[in-house]
Amino acid sequence: MDPAEVEFLAEKEMVSIIPNFNFDRIFLISGEIGPFRAGLPVKVPIWMAINLRQRQKCRIIPPDWMDVDKLLEVKEIESQSRFFTKMPSEHYMVEARLLLGAAAEDITRTDEIRTVLKVSKPFGYAHTCGLGAVSRTQCQGWSYLRDYSFVENEKYFVSYMKLPLLCIVATRAGKLDIWDMRMSKLRTSVDAFIRSGSTHARLDHLTQMELCSVRPLLPDALDQLHRLQKIKKLFTMSPGQGNPRRLRSIPNEVLSAGLVLLGKEFAIIHKK
Amino acid sequence: MDVDSDAVASDPEASEDEIITAQKVLQTLEEAWLNEKFCPELLPHQSDVVECMMEQVQQMEDNIRRLPRGDFRVVVHRLELDRIRYVISNYLRLRLEKIEAFTAHILERENDLSPGECRFAREYLAHLETHLRHLALRHMPTNIQDLDHSNMTAKPNTSSFVFLRVKGEVSGVVIEGDSNNRDEEIDLETGSQHVMQYRPVAELVRAGSIQLI
C-alpha cells in the first residue's frame, strides 16, 4: 500500500465544516450528509470538505486535537512513554496534511502545528515511503549516508540501524517532533524484534501511515529470516551431518545473511 | 475488461442484501478490498457485495443524469462514485493478479472464485499451456514433453508476515515456534494490532474476526 492509498482511507474520516450556503440533506451511498445551513457547523467526510473548501463554499473547523497545546501534550506523553501512545486520530499525519494543505487559513498557528507534527509544506512522500524518516537535525549526516549507501548497501544498513541512537539524543535536546519520535521508537523496536527472533509482535496504537513506512521492509525481512530458520531446522535435525562447531555458528550466519538481505531490500526501496 | 463485468454478473444471493443499507455494503466491500490487498492467498470471492455496489453506482449515475446542470449535488456524488469505483476495480484487479500468479493452485479450490473469475482462470491456464507447448515443449525430446502441474505450480506463501487488527476477541491462537523452536499461544484482544505469520490466522481472516491492515 502506498501513502496515496493511506490518504484515500483517511479521507473517509469526518470533519466539521461551516458552509456558507443552504442545502437539503444529500443522500450519499456512504450515508446521509447535511442538511447544510449557512453558518451552522455540519459533519462531512474530509474528501468532501476539501472539495467544498476549494470551491470556496465552506470554512473547515479543524478537529479538536489539531491544536498546538493539545499536540504538545500528546508529544509530551509520547516522549515519556517507552511504548507507542494512542494518537488523537488513526490518521493524524494525513489529516493534518490534508487540512493544512487545503485550508491553512482556517486553522490557527499552522506553522507550529506543522513543526510539532512534522508536516512539511510541500509534503514529500519521500520521508514516509520506505523507512526514510529523518529529522532536520540528522539531515546532513543522512544525506551523506544515503549517497554513500548506493555504493555499499551493507554498510549503509548498519549505519542506519544506529540512527535510533541519534534520535534519542535529539529527543533529549527536545528537538524532535511527534512523527520523528514515533519513527525512532519504531526503528528501535523493529531492530529489537528482529534480533529477538520471535515471530509475533503487538503493534498497538501504530497508525496506518507508520505501518506503511515499515511495510516495504519488515514483513519481507521476517519472511527471509523465517526461511533461513526453516533451513536451519532441517539442518540441525538431520543426524550425523557437519560438525558441531559449524552448527553452533549458524545463528550468526542466519543473522548476518538476514541483515545483508535487509540492506539490499532497503536500497532497492530507496532507489524507487 | 470483460471478466470484471462477468465476475459480478449474476449471483442468486444478491437479493438478500436489500435489507442491509448501502452504507453497510460499502463498508464490507472496503474491508474485503483491504483484506485481499494484504492477504498472500486468494480469499473467497465477494461477488454479491460487488454486484450490489455496482447496482448502487449505476442507480446513482442515473439519478445524477436527471439532476439539472450545475446542481450542487452533482460534483459531490461524482466524487463519491469515483471513490467507490476505485475500490471496486482495485479489488477485482488484485484478485485477477493473484489468479494469474497462482492459477493452477487456485483452480483446485474453485469455490473461492466467482463464475467469471473461474472462467478467466481456466482460459488463462489453457492459453499458458498452449503457449508453452507451442514455443518450447514441442521442440523437446518426447520423454520430457509433459507439463506436470503438481511440480510447477506456484503457491502463495502462507507463512509470510502480515499486519492485522483484531475485530472480535479470539483466544489461544497458536504461533509456530520462534528461534528456540517453542510454540507460543497468544490471545488476540479486540482492537489490538499485531504483526505475525498469516497461516495461524488464515481461518480467522476468512471468518471475518480479523482485519488485515
CATH code (residue B16): 1.20.58.1030
Instruction: State the pLDDT at residue B29.
Output: 94
The verdict on residue B142 lying in a domain is no
Identify whether the C-beta of residue A231 lies closer than 8 Å to the C-beta of residue B179: no
Closest CA to B13 of B45, B53, B49, B55: B49
Is it true that the peptide bond before A35 is cis, omega within 30 degrees of 0?
A: yes
Instruction: State the pLDDT at residue A272.
Output: 53
Closest CA to B159 of B147, B144, B171, B176: B176
All cell numbers assigned to B105: 493452485
Identify whether the C-beta of residue A254 lies closer than 8 Å to the C-beta of residue A136: no
| % of chain B at pLDDT higher than 90 | 46
Residues B8 and B42 in one domain: yes
Distance (Å) of CA A248 to CA A16, A235, A253, B53, B182: 62, 12, 10, 58, 18
Q: How far apart are CA B88 and CA A214, in angstroms?
A: 26
Residues B20 and B53 in one domain: yes
CA A5 to chain centroid, in Å, comes to 13
At A255, the pLDDT band (50, 70, 90 cuts) reads low
Rg (CA), chain A: 23
Least confident of A240-244, A256-260, A262-266, B46-50: A240-244
Domain boundary among B135, B167, B198: B135
Closest CA to A78 of A41, A118, A48, A29: A118
All cell numbers assigned to B72: 450542487
Q: How far apart are CA B14 and CA B18, in angstroms?
A: 8
- Is the Cβ of B77 closer than 8 Å to some Cβ of chain A? yes
Instruction: List the single residue in B76, B81, B213 with the smallest CB-CB distance to A48.
Output: B76
What is the average pLDDT across A138-164? 35
The verdict on residue B86 lying in a domain is yes
The verdict on residue B41 lying in a domain is yes
Q: Which helix (H) or strand (E) holds A246?
A: helix A244-248
What is the average pLDDT across B108-118? 90
Residues B11 and B113 in one domain: yes
pLDDT tens, residue by residue, B156-178: 888 889 999 999 888 888 887 65
- Domain boundary assignment for chain A: 15-60, 136-271
Instruction: State the pLDDT at residue B91.
Output: 95
Asked whether the predicted pLDDT for residue A118 surpasses 70, the reply is yes
Instruction: State the pLDDT at residue A167.
Output: 42
- Is the Cβ of A8 closer than 8 Å to some Cβ of chain B? yes
Distance (Å) of CA B51 to CA A38, A64, A80, B22: 38, 39, 50, 12
Identify whether the C-beta of residue A4 lies closer than 8 Å to the C-beta of residue A11: no
| % of chain A at pLDDT higher than 90 | 17
CA-based end-to-end distance of chain A: 14
All cell numbers assigned to A20: 456558507
The verdict on residue B143 lying in a domain is no
Residues B84 and B126 in one domain: yes
Q: Which of A91-100, A176-185, B86-95, B200-209 has the highest mean pLDDT?
A: B86-95
At B97, the pLDDT band (50, 70, 90 cuts) reads very high
The verdict on residue B147 lying in a domain is no
- Is the Cβ of B185 closer than 8 Å to some Cβ of chain A? no
b/e per residue, B171-210, with b = 16+ CB within 10 A? eebebbeebeeeeeebebeeeebbbbbbbbbbebbeeebb
CATH code, domain carrying B161: 3.40.5.60
Asked whether the predicted pLDDT for residue B204 surpasses 70, the reply is yes
CB-CB neighbors (< 8 A) of B160 in chain A: 219, 223
Q: How many residues does chain B have?
A: 213
- Check residue B42 and report its DSSP letter: P
Residues B178 and B122 in one domain: no
Residues B14 and B98 in one domain: yes
Instruction: State the pLDDT at residue B148.
Output: 74
Nearby residues of B158 by Cβ (< 8 Å), 6 or more positions away: B40, B41, B197, B198, B199, B202
Q: How far apart are CA A41 and CA A53, in angstroms?
A: 14
Identify whether the C-beta of residue A158 lies closer than 8 Å to the C-beta of residue A260: no
A–B CB contacts, 8 A cutoff, strictly below:
94
Asked whether the predicted pLDDT for residue B94 surpasses 90, the reply is yes
At A221, the pLDDT band (50, 70, 90 cuts) reads confident
Indicate the number of domains in chain B.
2
Asked whether the predicted pLDDT for residue A171 surpasses 50, the reply is no
Asked whether the predicted pLDDT for residue B150 surpasses 90, the reply is no
Instruction: State the pLDDT at residue B39.
Output: 93
Contact A219 B193 (CB under 8 A): no
pTM of the model: 0.76
pLDDT tens, residue by residue, A223-252: 888 888 888 777 776 555 544 444 445 555
Distance (Å) of CA B165 to CA A88, B120, B183, B192, B205: 18, 32, 22, 6, 10
- Is the Cβ of A235 closer than 8 Å to some Cβ of chain B? no
Q: Which residue of A has its CA nearest to B78?
A: A28
Instruction: State the pLDDT at residue B109.
Output: 85
Instruction: State the pLDDT at residue A38.
Output: 93
Instruction: State the pLDDT at residue A210.
Output: 87
Q: Could you tell me the sign of the dihedral formed by the alpha carbons of B40, B46, B52, B54, in that order?
A: positive
Task: Return the higher-pLDDT residue of A158 and B22.
Answer: B22
Contact B196 A201 (CB under 8 A): yes
CB-CB neighbors (< 8 A) of B196 in chain A: 199-201
Give which of B161, B180, B186 to mutate to test A binding, by max A Cβ within 10 Å: B161
Asked whether the predicted pLDDT for residue A133 surpasses 60, the reply is no
Q: Which fold has domain A15-60?
A: Ribosomal Protein L9; domain 1 (3.40.5)
> Burial level of B129, CB count in 10 A (0-12/13-18/19+)?
middle
CA B147 to chain centroid, in Å, comes to 28
- The torsion angles phi and psi of B188, rounded to 5 degrees, stand at -100, 115
At B187, the pLDDT band (50, 70, 90 cuts) reads confident
Task: Return the higher-pLDDT residue of A16 and A3.
Answer: A16
CB-CB neighbors (< 8 A) of A219 in chain B: 160-163, 195
Residues B15 and B102 in one domain: yes
pLDDT tens, residue by residue, A45-76: 999 999 999 999 999 999 999 888 888 888 88
- Is the Cβ of A51 closer than 8 Å to some Cβ of chain B? yes
Residue showing cell 499536540? A71
- Is the Cβ of B43 closer than 8 Å to some Cβ of chain A? no
| % of chain B at pLDDT higher than 70 | 88
Q: How far apart are CA B43 and CA B32, in angstroms?
A: 9
Instruction: List the single residue in A29, A215, A218 with the smallest CB-CB distance to B22.
Output: A29
Q: How far apart are CA A63 and CA A14, in angstroms?
A: 9
* Closest-CA distance of chain A to residue B36, Å: 12
Q: Could you tell me the sign of the dihedral formed by the alpha carbons of A174, A180, A186, A189, in that order?
A: negative
The verdict on residue B151 lying in a domain is no
Interface of A with B in 123-182 (CB under 8 A): none
Domain that holds residue B172: 157-212
Instruction: State the pLDDT at residue B87.
Output: 95
- Is the Cβ of B62 closer than 8 Å to some Cβ of chain A? no
Q: Which residue of B has its CA nearest to A28?
A: B77
Neighbours of A243 (CB within 10 A): 7
Complex confidence, ipTM = 0.81
Closest CA to B89 of B45, B62, B131, B54: B54
All cell numbers assigned to A12: 473517509
Q: Which residue of A has its CA nearest to B29?
A: A30
